Amino acid sequence: MFKGLSPDDDDCSRPKQKKKWKEFKARADLRLIYLFEVDGWIKGPQCEKWIRQFNDRTKHHMEPGTYRVLQEDNWGIPVSTEVTKFMKNTRIYLVNTTGNMTDLLTVIDDGLGQFMKDRIALKYSRHFEKNEENTGRWTTKGGFTEMDIRVFFSKWIAEAWEELKDEPEMILNTFNHCGFANDMYGRENHKVHLRHVFWYQVPPRSDEGKKFQPLTREEIQEGEERIRKFRSLPKKERKEIMNKQRKNTEDHSRNKKKI
3-state SS class at 18? helix
Q: What is the pLDDT of residue 36?
A: 64
Q: How far apart are CA 178 and CA 211, in angstroms?
A: 18
- The whole-number average pLDDT for the span 185-198 is 77
Q: How far apart are CA 65 and CA 59, in angstroms?
A: 12
3-state SS class at 224? helix
Q: How far apart are CA 145 and CA 139, in angstroms?
A: 10
- The answer to whether 157 and 29 have CB atoms below 8 angstroms apart is yes
Residues listed for the chain: 259
Q: Is the pLDDT of residue 227 over 90?
A: no
- The pLDDT-based confidence of 238 (bands split at 50, 70, 90) is confident
Q: What is the pLDDT of residue 258?
A: 44
- Among 159-168, 179-188, 189-198, 220-229, the range with the most confident prediction by mean pLDDT is 159-168
Other C-beta atoms closer than 10 Å to the C-beta of 110 total 21
pLDDT in tens, 73-108: 766 666 778 888 898 899 998 887 776 777 777 888
Q: How far is CA 109 from CA 13, 33, 173, 221, in A?
A: 35, 19, 14, 23
**Half-sphere exposure in the Cβ direction for 188 (13 Å, CA):** 14
Partners of 72 in beta bridges = 96
Q: How far apart are CA 101 and CA 227, in angstroms?
A: 9
**Half-sphere exposure in the Cβ direction for 181 (13 Å, CA):** 12
Query: How open is the CA angle 171-84-76, to the nearest 5 degrees?
Result: 60
Q: How far apart are CA 127 and CA 129, in angstroms?
A: 6
Q: What is the pLDDT of residue 78?
A: 67
Partners of 68 in beta bridges = 92
pLDDT in tens, 116-152: 888 999 998 888 888 777 777 777 777 888 888 889 9
- Among 71-80, 146-155, 222-231, the range with the most confident prediction by mean pLDDT is 146-155
**Which of 54-68, 169-183, 206-220 is the least confident region?**
206-220
- The pLDDT-based confidence of 256 (bands split at 50, 70, 90) is very low
Q: What is the pLDDT of residue 20?
A: 76
- The answer to whether 180 and 101 have CB atoms below 8 angstroms apart is no
